[in-house]
Amino acid sequence: MHTTRRLLARGDDVIGIDNLNDYYDVNLKKSRLACLTSHKNFIFHRLDISKQEALAELFTQENPVHVIHLAAQAGVRYSLENPQAYLDANLQGFLNILECCRHHDIEHLVYASSSSVYGSNATLPFDETQHIDHPVSLYAATKKANELMAHTYSHLYQLPTTGLRFFTVYGPWGRPDMAPMKFARAMLAGEPIDLYNHGKMVRDFTYIDDIVEGVIRVSDKVATPDSSFDPVHPNPAISSAPYRVFNIGNNTPTPLMNFLGALEKALGVEAKINYLPMQPGDVLETAASVDALSQWVGFKPSTSVPVGVSNFADWYRSYYVL
């Protein structure tokens, strides 16, 4: 939604696709959609990307030029409960996107990967030259698979693709299963919040506006082959094909307790806390190197956690009319 609003504001025509499934509150999804549907340059199709024929028909009908693929079954913990949803959306759905891009001569495919691909890597900050062979959740495995699939299509069909590894995105209109929304709801209701690993985790929290800026700048700069690629010592972030992968994170790893403190200040509420053990599929710490992104498009995220959390809290109160 945020990316679409920015594209529309600069005058682009946008075709939106979403299946509006019930993984979380459909009313929130419809409210997001209502922010877009009045715009004359926006067309919406309720469609499931895992449905190959319907997606192909839409590409033929609308004839897009660029594709920004942000649809996925998200969430690490849910992948433990419903793995099939991840295969359908993140593997079959992504394959369908690749096939449609291939057959319709798309100029550039930009897609969301995830910081979760770094898995059990312990060298921080994470950078794109690191190998990502040890995912710790099925969600992470599907995101790594997306990067591999994209490279294959870049290599075989010269389809320019760029993957963006998002680091802990937060902000207005966020998903209810993410920590800021869960925390805000519980805190304002006087209920305790759950902190895993007893709160001893660090995340590179990245504000939504910074994510959008990165997505659009990368979309505008079409991936190209890198002449420095050495197949004897391959760098996994580049290729002799038109393929790129970049981190997009705030480059400011923040202890979870500090993030919670900023939210307490913004909401004016002290959290009641349940301290719990580490959950399967979680990692202790994330931190993004964004040097490659900065060199490629001249941008790196910079919104501080206090500013971003304050913006989120203002939106939360206004949306839920508290």
Task: Indicate the pLDDT class of residue 280, thresholds 50, 70 and 90.
Answer: confident
Rounded to an integer, what distance in angstroms lies between the CA atom of residue 191 and that of residue 94? 39
CA-nearest of 182, 216, 150 to 5 is 216
Rounded to an integer, what distance in angstroms lies between the CA atom of residue 263 and that of residue 271? 9
Q: Which domains does the chain have, with CATH numbers?
A: 2-170+206-251+287-303 (3.40.50.720)
229 close to 153: Cβ distance less than 8 angstroms: no
CA distances from 192 to 33, 141, 269, 275 (A): 31, 32, 12, 10
How many whole angstroms from its chain centre is CA 149? 17
138 close to 88: Cβ distance less than 8 angstroms: no
User: 10: how many CB neighbours lie within 10 A of its CB?
Assistant: 7
Rounded to an integer, what distance in angstroms lies between the CA atom of residue 165 and that of residue 150? 14
Share of the chain above pLDDT 90, in %: 92
In this predicted structure, the answer to whether residue 245 has a pLDDT above a threshold of 90 is: yes
pLDDT of residue 74: 86
Active site residue 139: yes
pLDDT of residue 49: 97
Q: Which amino acid is at 73?
A: Q
Structure tokens at 274: 């349940």
Please tell me the least confidently modeled range out of 49-63, 68-82, 163-177, 184-198: 68-82
How does pLDDT run across 199-215, given as a tens digit for each residue?
999 999 999 999 999 99
Angle at the Cα of 4 (from 241 to 141), degrees rounded to 5? 50
Rounded to an integer, what distance in angstroms lies between the CA atom of residue 116 and that of residue 165? 8
Whole-number average pLDDT of the chain? 95
In the chain, the N- to C-terminal Cα span, in Å, equals 23
DSSP states of 39-75 as a string? STTEEEEE--TT-HHHHHHHHHHH--SEEEE------
How does pLDDT run across 178-195, given as a tens digit for each residue?
999 999 999 999 999 999
Task: Indicate the pLDDT class of residue 153, thresholds 50, 70 and 90.
Answer: very high
Structure tokens at 315: 């939106």
216 close to 164: Cβ distance less than 8 angstroms: no
Active-site residue (options: 139, 153, 243, 316): 139
pTM: 0.96
pLDDT of residue 322: 58
Beta strands in the chain (DSSP E): 14-18, 42-46, 66-69, 108-114, 161-166, 169-170, 193-195, 202-203, 206-207, 243-248, 254-255, 273-275
